[in-house]
Amino acid sequence: MKIHVIGAPGSGKTTLAHDIASRFHVPHYELDKVNWEQESVATIIERPAWITEGFYLVWTEPMLYHADCIVFLEVSWPIAAWRLISRHILNSLRNTQSYPGLNGIKALVILLKDTRRYTLNLGQTDKSTVEDLHKYLETRRGLAVPSKEEYQKTYPETYQKLALPPTEEFVRMYLEKYKGKLFLVKNATDRERLFELLEK
């Protein structure tokens, strides 16, 4: 079982990936917290089973390519905002906040603005950019899997800003080439259907 979960901040990526990992006893890698000196992209995808999750494109392409299933989480802006604010408050109360105090509030405001732009499709959504990016990545398909840092250095500067996707619609277009193994989760019903599919 090899699964990659992608979605906006507050979409429930970590919760879903943790639940899948626990139920099926599969190693779970939260890409925000991976120690890249020890766990490179190549090391992860060579394992017989894994579940990865993160809000990134381009340098996670090897995971998308090798995954048996790609789970794309979509949530509304109000739900994402509520989850991000709640998480910030709970982490602050538990003294587990990565960015405490005023810096944490500033970081939260930036995250909320970026997530709003993403979920409401207020940023750049350019189909030709997606197509050009696919062509570029395809030229690297046969090469050894590069690290995150190598991807960031080698893919065209034009696309560097797309490591974090600008809109939900952009991600849909980007993932179109993987539609044969793509599973969309928008609600609890979709989530249960996903678990039923994985249990087969």
Domain ranges (residues) in the chain: 2-199
Q: How many CB atoms lie within 10 A of CB 31?
A: 22
Q: How far apart are CA 94 and CA 3, in angstroms?
A: 31
pLDDT tens-place values along the chain, 200 residues long: 899 999 999 999 999 999 999 999 999 998 887 765 566 777 888 899 999 999 888 778 888 989 999 999 999 999 999 999 999 999 888 888 777 788 888 999 999 999 999 999 997 777 888 887 787 777 766 554 555 555 555 555 555 556 678 899 999 999 999 999 999 999 999 999 999 999 88
pLDDT at 101: 81
The answer to whether 86 and 124 have CB atoms below 8 angstroms apart is: no
pLDDT at residue number 39: 67
Fold category of 2-199 in CATH: Rossmann fold (3.40.50)
pLDDT of residue 144: 47
Task: Give the whole-angstrom CA distance, residue 121 versus residue 106.
Answer: 23
C-alpha distances in Å from residue 196, one per residue of 13, 97, 114, 120, 190: 18, 35, 33, 30, 10
Report the distance separating Cα 25 and Cα 93, nearest Å. 31
End-to-end CA distance of the chain: 11
Q: What is the pLDDT of residue 44?
A: 86
- Tokens 């779970």 -> residue: 28
Minimal CA–CA distance to 57: which of 159, 147, 142? Answer: 159
pLDDT (0 to 100) of residue 21? 95
Angstrom distance (rounded) from CA 4 to CA 13: 10
- Token output for 111: 């995250």
E runs forming strands in 123-199: 182-185
Tell me what pLDDT residue 11 has.
Answer: 95
Q: Residue 118: name the closest of 165, 58, 160, 172 by CA.
A: 165
Residue 46: the pLDDT is 86
Residue 108: the pLDDT is: 92
Write down the pTM of the prediction: 0.85
Do 11 and 80 touch, CB atoms closer than 8 A?
Answer: yes
